[in-house]
Amino acid sequence: MEWQRDDYVVSDDRRRLDLAVIHGFLAGESYWAAGVPEAVVARAMEHSLCFGMYQEGRQTGFARVVTDRATFGYLCDVFVGTAHRGRGLGKWMVECVLSHPDLQGLRRLALMTRDAHGLYGEFGFKPMADATRYMEIHRPDVYQT
């Protein structure tokens, strides 16, 4: 699928994804995946529904959803490159992702964020009603050697 807005395109075409751009942002600029190895990013992308945002063919943003495409999805690794921020592109990309046919009818769609609650709240995301149901094994230093 593909969506267009002005000179930007959001696409789920895997062939267009630029691993170097995606890895560069996640490993070097994100707080949630700092230091992640490129091979880990590639493997994560391989097993997810991925979306790239492009301007004139160059990747400017990314999002992925870990999903079974039937009952559950986890939205993650959402970013818009620094030079493209402040134009509502992140909001538009999330809108495109959530409209994808493979994500319709899911019982639960989850995400984690440190600082974008307002953005995601506009799409109906809310803090977990009963956080005692959520459990995790968290290894924050797994990418550090």
What DSSP assignment string belongs to 9-64? EEE--GGG--HHHHHHHHHHT-SSSTT--HHHHHHHHHTSEEEEEEETTEEEEEEE
Confidence at residue 117, expressed as pLDDT on a 0 to 100 scale: 93
Q: Identify any residues that bridge with 86 across adjacent strands, giving them in sequence order.
A: none
Structure tokens at 9: 């395109």
Q: Is residue 101 part of a domain?
A: yes
Q: Taking Cα atoms as reference points, which of 103, 31, 27, 34 lies closest to residue 64?
A: 103
Confidence at residue 140, expressed as pLDDT on a 0 to 100 scale: 86
Q: Is residue 42 part of a domain?
A: yes
CATH number of the domain that residue 62 is part of? 3.40.630.30
Q: How many domains does the chain have?
A: 1
Q: Is residue 140 part of a domain?
A: no
Confidence at residue 39, expressed as pLDDT on a 0 to 100 scale: 97
The C-alpha angle 141, 39, 91, rounded to 5 degrees, equals 80
Q: Is residue 61 part of a domain?
A: yes
Q: Taking Cα atoms as reference points, which of 83, 77, 67 lies closest to residue 33?
A: 77
Domain ranges, residue 73:
2-133
Structure tokens at 65: 């959803």
Confidence at residue 143, expressed as pLDDT on a 0 to 100 scale: 87
Question: Per-block average pLDDT, block size 10, for the chain (145 residues)?
Answer: 97 98 96 95 97 97 98 97 95 98 97 93 93 90 81
